[in-house]
Amino acid sequence: MVIVVSLAFALQATVPSFGWMGILLALQSASPSIGAGVALAAFGSLLGQLKKIRLATERQADLFQSILERRSQPSAE
């Protein structure tokens, strides 16, 4: 979404007065915004994966704790 908005804004600002050269100028001026948008999207995806890993680790720790508690209880013999 950020890429499309950045590109559209840059094209709208430069193409009417410069024609094809305006497209090249727009791409050049929009490239930092496009790069920032891609970096933000990648960072958001990374945070989502880290959250999933944290939840899975907590679930494993709970399961491991329940196993240890069952082993430490005296068995009814």
In a domain, 14, yes or no: yes
**Residue 33's pLDDT band (boundaries 50, 70, 90)?**
confident
pLDDT at 6 over 70: yes
Residues above pLDDT 90, as percent of the chain: 39
Q: What angle do CA 70, 66, 63 make, to 5 degrees?
A: 140
Which residue segment(s) compose the domain that 15 sits in? 2-71
Name the domain count of the chain: 1
pTM of the model: 0.56
In a domain, 77, yes or no: no
- pLDDT of 5: 76
How far apart, in whole angstroms, are the C-alpha atoms of residue 25 and residue 34?
14
Q: Which amino acid is at 42?
A: A
What's the average model confidence in pLDDT over 47-56? 97
Give Cβ neighbours of residue 15 (< 8 Å, ≥ 6 apart): 22, 23, 26
In a domain, 42, yes or no: yes
In a domain, 76, yes or no: no
In a domain, 53, yes or no: yes
How far apart, in whole angstroms, are the C-alpha atoms of residue 7 and residue 23?
10
